[in-house]
């Protein structure tokens, strides 16, 4: 992997990640951009104890542009974009409309490929590995920023999720605090460790799931399963079999196998509602909208979580779709949005069975 860092016309950082070491990246951003001005602010909810990012400048962000005006495609002639070069493998840049900025953290965009009409599932194993390396590098770099306590790499895919740019891309949020969801995991981890005399909860969950009926697929170094209490209609958790706290700690064997396992999962997700394997017509149902979210240990202090260290946390990816059946979405209505109590219409055992059925060829 070759890494080349440069600056856009408004001062934001842009980084090329290339498969070839001899690739030259010297294109200049020719757009007449003013310096980016953000108004991001973190506010604490005194009753819930969580945080809300208030970012009014995001109201003006790019919204569903036509394909020939996509800001994530390479620059071609006089069609100028966020990427000055005429091609790229993987590129990362500071978001022009960030939810977090300055003392409130940082937001970056990760473009997986220059092909506007592709998806992550269309990538080769070599390209997917390059994305993994980019995620890892950015996790390392962002973790050293003074304001950053947790790094979150994720992908939103599909208009139903709220994606406003159709180009295959993900994002990285560098938070100045430990997120509420991670804090819940850490509290459960600490409680289980104390109650069992030192057993690791992540290890126990992975062992139980691997021995059960909800395994979707398994490699030598990774295991994917539908969790016992899945919140979403189709939800898969992907764990390295050797517990590590973050992407940086993955060994070479796990990095090498990851593309095959993850690409297979994504391709199965695209077939859940396909219907072709059952001889049905599911026109308009592809692609499956999803969120793919990496959970990594925070880089900040963990004193409030009694007896827990970063090494107790288990890196894992959670992949889920909000589509519950053909033509129908799972909405977060009263119970979910008002009380944070999820109601799942698809039994996790049936979801796992379906994901095994649609193994891609």
Residues identified as active-site: 169
Question: Strand runs (DSSP E) across the chain, as ranges?
Answer: 2-7, 13-18, 41-44, 51-54, 90-94, 106-111, 150-157, 169-175, 215-218, 222-225, 234-240, 290-295, 316-321, 323-325, 328-329
Alpha carbon 236 to its chain's center: 13
What is the secondary structure of 244-273 as a DSSP string? -SSGGG--HHHHHHHHHHHHHHHHHHTTTT
With beta carbons less than 8 A apart as the criterion, state whether 209 and 223 touch. Answer: yes
With beta carbons less than 8 A apart as the criterion, state whether 326 and 170 touch. Answer: no
User: ∠ CA 38-43-44 to the nearest 5 degrees?
Assistant: 160
Alpha carbon 177 to its chain's center: 18
- Tokens 């408004």 sit on residue: 10
* Residues 6+ away with beta carbon under 8 Å from 246: 139, 151, 296, 297, 310, 313, 315
């Amino acid at each position: 992997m070759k890494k080349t860092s440069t600056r856009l016309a408004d001062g934001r950082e842009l980084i090329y990640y290339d498969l070839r070491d001899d690739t030259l990246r010297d294109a200049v951003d020719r757009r007449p951009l003013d310096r980016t001005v953000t108004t991001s602010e973190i506010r604490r909810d005194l009753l819930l104890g969580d945080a809300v990012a208030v970012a009014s400048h995001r109201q003006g962000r790019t919204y569903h542009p036509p394909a020939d005006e996509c800001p994530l495609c390479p620059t071609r002639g006089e069609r100028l974009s966020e990427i000055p070069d005429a091609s790229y493998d993987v590129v990362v840049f500071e978001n022009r409309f960030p939810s977090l900025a300055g003392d409130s953290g940082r937001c970056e965009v990760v473009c997986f490929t220059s092909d506007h009409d592709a998806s992550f599932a269309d990538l080769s194993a070599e390209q997917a590995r390059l994305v993994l390396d980019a995620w890892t590098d950015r996790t390392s770099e962002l973790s050293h920023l003074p304001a950053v306590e947790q790094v979150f790499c994720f992908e939103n895919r599909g208009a139903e999720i709220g994606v406003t740019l159709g180009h295959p891309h993900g994002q990285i949020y560098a938070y100045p605090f430990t997120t509420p969801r991670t804090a819940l995991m850490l509290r459960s981890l600490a409680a289980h460790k104390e109650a069992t005399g030192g057993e690791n909860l992540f290890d126990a969950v992975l062992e139980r799931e691997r021995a059960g009926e909800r395994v979707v697929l398994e490699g030598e170094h990774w295991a994917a399963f539908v969790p016992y209490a899945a919140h979403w209609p189709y939800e898969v958790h992907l764990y390295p079999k050797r517990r590590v706290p973050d992407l940086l700690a993955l060994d070479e064997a796990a990095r090498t196998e990851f593309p095959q396992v993850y690409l297979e999962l994504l391709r199965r997700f695209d077939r859940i509602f396909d219907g072709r394997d059952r001889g049905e017509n599911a026109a308009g149902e592809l692609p499956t909208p999803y969120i793919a979210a990496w959970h990594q240990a925070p880089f900040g202090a963990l004193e409030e979580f009694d007896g827990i260290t970063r090494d107790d946390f288990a890196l894992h990816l959670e992949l889920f779709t909000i589509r519950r059946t053909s033509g129908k979405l799972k909405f977060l209505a009263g119970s979910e949005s008002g009380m944070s109590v999820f109601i799942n219409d698809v039994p996790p055992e049936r979801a796992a069975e379906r994901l095994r059925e649609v193994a891609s060829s």
